[in-house]
A and B are shown apart, each in its own frame.
Chain A
């Protein structure tokens, strides 16, 4: 089996504070890896370093065996790595459909061919499919600002999958989503994973969600990996229990 993503000894410090302290892990093709850990354990910073939004202080990131450390987020995205953010990041002024088209258009042709080409960059059908898949068809022409929070969250996730990524990094996809919507979100994610064979890395606080969704879980505390394994193993690991209970 080949690693889609390989992170080696990644470090990030802000001034004197070390947020990520030598994290290494690999993600296999088709895997759903969960990353959990108490607040401030460096999960989001790890994502931002992998995705070129922050420059890592040290360490390497490889995508399909190719070094991509510090590569700009837009270039990484066009190599097939997409993401969502911890806080909702959609374009409220645009319609739902336009949000989706935007999420796919930069993967079509060149800048010049896009200027000369069709306004939807030939993505109408793909957007329609994605709307159907996340059950947003009815809202296609509403401004994203007018959606409910749960619907916006679905749109946010849908945007990450619009270009058919090889690897998707989702930062707290379940945060603030109500239980009914949560089940449908998990089921949608698993469907994408099964149908497209895409690989996920998911940061999540909702234990139930993460245990049900992921094949393997990595536990971060104070910027270090303190445990990893399948959901059952992690659940029993005393270090994990201590990291969570020792703090609260």
Chain B
């Protein structure tokens, strides 16, 4: 019997670019006693570079639109994408604190037959995995143990900060993703740039591409020089896409060989639970076949 029930908020990048992450989450969470229901009719969170950068009330109305659907179902929202988590959680906090803004936004929502009450919370999937499910239950749920496999843990900025509003992990020295990976039997090596941002979100990559690539290269170089990691694990679709794309770009530009496979946490979990990699880990730029083979055979 499921013990927890959440509205699974998809956002934009997961269902459009990496639906295998969506499938990994849909397959793994119920096995851990977390029932997922659809947030039917949800839209973009909205991402910080869109409405929040031009019209605060429109942005808050979209936040409220999304949250109100979960309120109608009577569930909290669960989300993987870091930006979606941050946008929804900060928007919700603002609407709860500011009565005047809440009133104005509810007037907009009324036109669409919706209402924001603040009943549904927004939770990041790492929060749900670590604090609701727990590492012990995860260890018991897997058929394949990652013995001898070394995994880099990269926690997304957006699940950490601003910690007074959306934090659940240590904002400067996060440990939850690390422990969740260790629960699968893997080793999680430490390295000097462990807590550096991936650099992939916002306008940095688009507007100062050379410097943005260089920024990410520093982190990847630290991983390469200081560890012998087999793969990188993230829990944010932006980090996932960025590490994948930048490694290809660096390699093509002759800056070295960058080919560390990148996974979302639930993809790795799904492989350990024995789900079909063709469904839960099918899409990547840096090839993952070899490491998937090694995991399945271990």
A in complex with B: no
Binding site for A on B (CB under 8 A): none
Binding site for B on A (CB under 8 A): none
